Amino acid sequence: MRGLFLKYTLILVLLAGLVASCGESLEDTYSDYTGDGPEQYLTKIYDLQGKPRWMSVELTWNLKLDPGRTAILVEWTDDEKTDSAVIDRNSTSYLVEGLKNYEYEFGVYAIEQTENGEIIKRSIGDPVYIRPYTYASDELILFSRVVKKQFNVADKQLFVTFEEWTDNLISFKIGYYEKNNPTEQFWEATPEDRIDDYPNGLPYALIGTDVDFSQGVKVYRTGKIAVVGDMLLEMEPINLYFELPSFESDFAVEVRSKLDLLGEIKKADITDVEVLDIDYNQVSLVDVLHFPNLKELHLGRNRILADGTELTYRSTLTEQVVSEAALRVAKENGVEIYHYGNHYFNVVPDFFTGKNIVAVEPALTFLETSSWNISVTPRDLMEYNSGLNNLLTDDASYWLPQSSASVREHVIEIDFGKEESISGFKITQANIATAIQCPEQVKVEMQISSGQWIAVAFQENTMLGTGKGETTVVYLDKNKTSKRCSKIRLRVSDLFFEKGYDSSWNYIDFYNIALGSFMVIKGE
């Protein structure tokens, strides 16, 4: 053990002598590679943070004592280039302005410069990524557009409906041009005009006398933007367009059904329409103004209600004030308006051509049904009689299947026994005093020579009035043309009926449906 100790002691002595014989220190050796003495690094910028501002970003950071720092370098990079600024050595913030809608990379560095400004040293630093607020920011894109809908009325006046006045909207104006006048005109709404969240308390305005729509119509808005410190900002103008009509969804459903249209409703689809029927629940009737050559509007003409149900099953209208205003404009431009039953309006406007007209069933001729065969799937169970044959009788009887714990689609097939010419159907809801709902729509198909089933009418699904005992007359198309077939089938689905206990005493939902009659209109 003693020998081993002496051995290692000797090795250490020899190593010490070797180092001393070099005649240099480790520091001297390092200096040979770094120039004039040891390298001095600049202290890193700490806690760099950025806050988005309007088309700018405010940067802040913390500094450590560093005698080698002569200035601070700020850099920002977008998708095209890198810009920079050199600021005072003791600065702890900087506002970078003139930015666009981009998530910039920002870096802040301590630097050492020569007398002529050349950067000879810079610290390391961690970047931050910030997107400034611009017109493309979500907060501004979602800012109120003010105008909800716009209409060109007879190429003379502008009718607009308004969104509710939001708290961050200060004022707005609608700019337009009159024919033969090069000066832009303005319809303005100031903070003093705000009444019940609408300009002058009205959700609409009729503007101009002889508007030149070819010059364009714009909406100018002034807003108070919270994310930029409640800055008052002139928003980018909104151009109003009139070429593609925009419809409320429920109004569009009826227009497609009445005019045999599919998909988007274009201006050319409605230009030549002179008579229009609207029958079912609507948010608004303002879309009537999209029809430039309309002569007659019938409201509820096709809802043929059972006696005594006229007040119970009336079509509703959500936006009555703006609808009445739009219909008044239509009336002033030559549209005769006929109102049926008690639909839509709590108080029917005096300017309507006809008010509270009783809707009556048109004179129709039906095919003889006594020799027809009718079947349904799913079938009646346990000798239950749903009254399926009642569908082929034009009286107060009805078809009522058993209730089910699941939703079923009932497929009712009617075999004429021979080929017949048909032009439509009269479908009557069951008039029963139960909670069973009436179907809102049915699908009617016919079998062609190849055995394939196809939709018999232009629209695959047929809308129905849902009043108890209500009759809906459906033609194959808007021209009331005829088709020949020997078999048709009707598809109708269950709706919720009631809650109750099943055979295992589970409290569950039950579903059912009912239908009064399905009469086939004789074709030519």
Please check whether residue 18 lies inside any domain of the structure. no
| Together in a domain, 386 and 448 | yes
Cis previous bond, 349, omega within 30:
no
Which whole number is the average pLDDT over 47-70? 93
| Together in a domain, 391 and 438 | yes
Q: Is the pLDDT of residue 272 over 90?
A: yes
DSSP, collapsed to helix, strand or coil, labels residue 192 as helix
Which residue range forms the structural domain that includes residue 209? 138-240
| Together in a domain, 281 and 398 | no
| Together in a domain, 321 and 399 | no
Please check whether residue 365 lies inside any domain of the structure. no
Choose the weakest-confidence range: 47-61, 116-130, 131-145, 281-295.
116-130
- Residue 4 is given by DSSP the state H
Q: Is the pLDDT of residue 398 over 80?
A: yes
Last residue of a domain, one of 240, 260, 275: 240
Domain CATH number, residue 174: 2.60.40
- Counting the structural domains of the chain, the total is 4
2-47 pLDDT per residue, tens: 454 444 444 444 444 443 444 444 333 334 444 444 556 788 888 9
| Together in a domain, 153 and 257 | no
Q: Is the pLDDT of residue 268 over 90?
A: yes
Domain CATH number, residue 90: 2.60.40.10
CA-based torsion, 285, 320, 353, 427: positive or negative: positive
Q: What is the pLDDT of residue 503?
A: 87
Return the higher-pLDDT residue of 170 and 2. Answer: 170
- Reported as type and span, the H/E element at residue 17 is helix 2-21
232-261 pLDDT per residue, tens: 999 999 999 999 999 999 999 999 999 999
Q: Which two tokens stand for residue 294?
A: 């309309």
Return the higher-pLDDT residue of 68 and 299. Answer: 299
Which whole number is the average pLDDT over 288-316? 96
Which whole number is the average pLDDT over 201-210? 97
Last residue of a domain, one of 100, 130, 160: 130
Sorting pLDDT into bands at 50, 70 and 90, what band is 459?
Answer: confident
| Together in a domain, 349 and 308 | yes
Please check whether residue 94 lies inside any domain of the structure. yes
Which whole number is the average pLDDT over 393-411? 95
Residue among 478, 482, 469, 473 at smallest CA distance from 426 = 473
Residue among 380, 484, 490 at smallest CA distance from 444 = 490
Q: Is the pLDDT of residue 276 over 70?
A: yes
Last residue of a domain, one of 112, 130, 148: 130
Q: What is the pLDDT of residue 124?
A: 84
Q: What is the pLDDT of residue 33?
A: 41
Choose the weakest-confidence range: 92-96, 286-290, 444-448.
444-448
Q: What is the pLDDT of residue 433?
A: 83
| Together in a domain, 330 and 468 | no
Cβ neighbour number for residue 271 with a 10 Å cutoff: 11
Q: Is the pLDDT of residue 510 over 70?
A: yes
Please check whether residue 39 lies inside any domain of the structure. no
Percent of the chain with pLDDT over 90: 81
469-482 pLDDT per residue, tens: 999 999 999 999 99
Q: Which two tokens stand for residue 43?
A: 């202290």
Please check whether residue 5 lies inside any domain of the structure. no
| Together in a domain, 223 and 302 | no
Please check whether residue 418 lies inside any domain of the structure. yes
Residues 327/298, Cβ–Cβ less than 8 Å: no
Burial class of residue 265 in the structure, from the number of CB atoms within 10 Å of its CB (0-12 exposed, 13-18 middle, 19+ buried) = buried
Task: Please give the distance of CA 268 from its chain centroid, rounded to a whole number.
Answer: 24
Domain CATH number, residue 418: 2.60.120.260
| Together in a domain, 184 and 261 | no
| Together in a domain, 102 and 185 | no
Return the higher-pLDDT residue of 18 and 191. Answer: 191
Please check whether residue 12 lies inside any domain of the structure. no
Q: Is the pLDDT of residue 87 over 70?
A: yes
Please check whether residue 491 lies inside any domain of the structure. yes
Return the higher-pLDDT residue of 9 and 140. Answer: 140
| Together in a domain, 123 and 146 | no
CA-based torsion, 142, 146, 148, 153: positive or negative: negative
| Together in a domain, 259 and 209 | no
Q: What is the pLDDT of residue 40?
A: 61
Q: What is the pLDDT of residue 181?
A: 97
Residue among 408, 514, 435 at smallest CA distance from 470 = 514
